[in-house]
Amino acid sequence: MRALALLLLVPVAAGCGAGAVRVPVPTPDAAGARLCAGLRLPEKVHGLERRDTSPESPLTAAWGSPAIALRCGVPRPPALVPTSQLVTVNGVDWFGQPADRPVTFTAVARQVYVEVTVPPKYSPPGDVLVELGAAISATIPKKPEGQI
């Protein structure tokens, strides 16, 4: 029981300090992985320094504490439907969840889905989406019109 309690604390502790941030690694197909590999992310987001992620992966990134986390090549969000409300920030369409107070935003209508988790501390999240959206729009092509 004690070992289980210690295992549950490891991810929380990793996200609190200056060490690596635990970010689950997505598993895109080969084409998605190639697109994600081309993503050139900034060293700072919202004035926050980039941090290492655990496990290390070119598909994940993090900045600050609490960490703003990015995952490239995630699956389509299950709640995303053609009538979902999207927010467009500098040409990138974002689907926010939960709908009433989004913390996780997924760039949609792109060849690869990119997920960004923005802790409430950094509210409103628009600045973060602007900064990361520039890298996404420069690297990940849009899907054909009307596809999300």
Residue 54 has pLDDT above 50, yes or no: yes
Instruction: Indicate the pLDDT class of residue 15, thresholds 50, 70 and 90.
Output: very low
**CA gap 56, 25 in Å, rounded:** 8
**Predicted model pTM:** 0.86
**Mean pLDDT (the chain, rounded):** 88
Residue 10 has pLDDT above 80, yes or no: no
DSSP 47-82: TEEEE-EES--TTEEEETTTTEEEEEEEPPPTT--T
